[in-house]
């Protein structure tokens, strides 16, 4: 199973060209989403059965977990981040699984890497230097992450500075008060301004669903964000008390599917926060496959926001190879 970022035979460079047309957005039209009303009990019932109806075992599980690695935005967003931490994170992103495990799986030459590295703005330069030659994208959080409670002009300036510093992907946060007040035109205008500031950089719009009280508002916020030109919609900052869940992901995925049917644009999805185990990752891959199809099982359309998930995936892969579980410290994340 080759990673999408594979070395070119011509010059040894690593290609990260996006396969899908960017979402240019559409003019604001409340008629596209104002009728939506989400049945909470039905959504939660569907989410509760997901992990029970399907399971992936043995070599198929190993293959799915290898694939999951390419979807990870390997992330460090801590107050005590240092240049050395970021350098180690980048090294892990480029070599996420021990070579002996890959060799045992017959994948030692496949150049498997994570989907991106995600850092604060101040660490973009460090990450860029550490990733030099790999062409792995750097994602930067912006717009007053995580709360977003700073003036709009400052948010836009943050985006522009991160793009200028070398970030190829910008994770922006919306103003949650606009969702709480159902100010959909205001939300559209805000996200559209962010998209313009991003330029060629791809924009992931964080809804912070743990701070949105109903699934109906999550669905409408998803629609508005996509209409305004979001390349991805993302569940959480990872800093809320409730982060990515299967039910809220289901609501957002249904919005993505319907938006693609109506507009023709494919929008990516990124669950983030609280995804720590290989079993959880598999549940999200199954959900993507069932709701959006195999085409979305691609780093251009699906990412995990995670820091510790990779450790458990590597442990599970070693268990498949050796039949024994190793201690987590043998698979340091960074």
HSE-CB at 222 with a 13 A cutoff on CA atoms is 31
Q: Give the pLDDT score at 17.
A: 54
Its domain, for residue 119, covers 30-324
Q: Give the pLDDT score at 330.
A: 76
If you average pLDDT over every residue of the chain, what do you get?
A: 92
Q: How far apart are CA 20 and CA 266, in angstroms?
A: 7
Q: Give the pLDDT score at 2.
A: 35
Model confidence at 3: pLDDT above 70: no
Residue 270 a catalytic site member:
yes
Per-residue pLDDT of 17-63, as tens digits, reads 578 899 999 999 999 999 999 999 999 999 998 877 777 889 999 99
Mean local confidence (pLDDT), 170-197: 98
Q: Are 163 and 199 in contact (CB under 8 A)?
A: yes
Residue 80 a catalytic site member:
no
Beta-bridge mates of residue 268? 232
234, 266, 298, 300: the active-site residue: 234
Placement of tokens 């912006």 in the chain: 142
Mean local confidence (pLDDT), 90-95: 96
CATH number at residue 97: 3.20.20.70
Q: Give the pLDDT score at 331.
A: 75
Residue 183 a catalytic site member:
no
Q: Cα torsion for 121, 127, 131, 135, to the nearest 10°?
A: 0
Q: Give the pLDDT score at 141.
A: 98
Give the confidence band of 147 by pLDDT, cuts at 50, 70, 90.
very high
168, 231, 270, 312: the active-site residue: 270
Answer whether residue 55 is part of any domain: yes
Give the confidence band of 16 by pLDDT, cuts at 50, 70, 90.
very low
Q: Are 211 and 176 in contact (CB under 8 A)?
A: yes
73, 171, 231, 298: the active-site residue: 171
Q: Give the pLDDT score at 328.
A: 77
Model confidence at 13: pLDDT above 70: no
Answer whether residue 293 is part of any domain: yes
Per-residue pLDDT of 224-283, as tens digits, reads 999 999 999 999 999 999 999 999 999 999 999 999 999 999 999 999 999 999 999 999
Number of domain units in the chain = 1
Answer whether residue 264 is part of any domain: yes
Answer whether residue 270 is part of any domain: yes
Task: Pinpoint the alpha helices (H) of the chain.
Answer: 40-53, 58-69, 83-94, 99-104, 124-130, 152-165, 176-180, 184-198, 215-227, 246-263, 278-291, 309-322
Answer whether residue 22 is part of any domain: no
Answer whether residue 20 is part of any domain: no
Per-residue pLDDT of 301-315, as tens digits, reads 999 998 889 999 999
Q: Give the pLDDT score at 325.
A: 84
Q: Give the pLDDT score at 9.
A: 32
């Amino acid at each position: 199973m080759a990673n999408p970022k594979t070395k070119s035979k011509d010059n040894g460079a690593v290609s990260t060209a996006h396969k899908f047309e960017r979402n240019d957005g559409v003019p604001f039209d409340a008629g596209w989403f104002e009728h939506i009303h989400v049945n909470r009990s039905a959504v939660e019932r569907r989410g509760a059965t997901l992990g029970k109806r399907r399971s992936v075992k043995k070599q198929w599980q190993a293959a799915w977990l290898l694939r999951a690695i390419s979807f990870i935005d390997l992330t460090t967003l801590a107050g005590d981040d240092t240049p050395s931490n970021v350098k180690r994170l980048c090294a892990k992103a480029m070599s996420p699984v021990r070579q002996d495990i890959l060799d045992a799986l017959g994948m030692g030459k496949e150049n498997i890497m994570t989907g991106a590295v995600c850092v604060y703005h101040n660490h973009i330069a460090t990450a860029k230097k550490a990733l030099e030659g790999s062409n792995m994208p750097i994602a930067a959080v912006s717009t007053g992450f995580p709360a977003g409670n700073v003036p709009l002009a400052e948010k836009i300036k943050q985006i522009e500075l991160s793009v200028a510093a070398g970030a190829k992907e910008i994770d922006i946060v919306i103003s949650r008060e606009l969702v709480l007040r159902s100010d959909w035109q205001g939300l559209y205008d805000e996200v559209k301004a962010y998209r313009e500031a991003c330029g060629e950089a791809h924009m992931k719009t964080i809804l912070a669903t743990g701070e949105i009280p109903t699934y109906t508002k999550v669905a409408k916020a998803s629609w508005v964000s996509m209409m305004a030109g979001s390349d991805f919609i993302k569940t959480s900052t990872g800093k809320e008390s409730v982060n990515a869940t299967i039910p809220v992901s289901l609501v957002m995925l249904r919005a993505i599917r319907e938006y693609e049917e109506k507009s023709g644009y494919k929008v990516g999805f990124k669950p983030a926060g609280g995804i720590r185990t290989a079993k959880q990752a598999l549940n999200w891959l199954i959900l993507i496959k069932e709701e959006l199809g195999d085409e979305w099982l691609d780093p251009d359309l699906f990412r995990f926001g995670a820091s510790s998930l990779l450790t458990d995936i590597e442990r599970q892969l070693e268990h498949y190879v050796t039949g024994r579980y190793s201690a987590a410290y043998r698979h340091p994340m960074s």
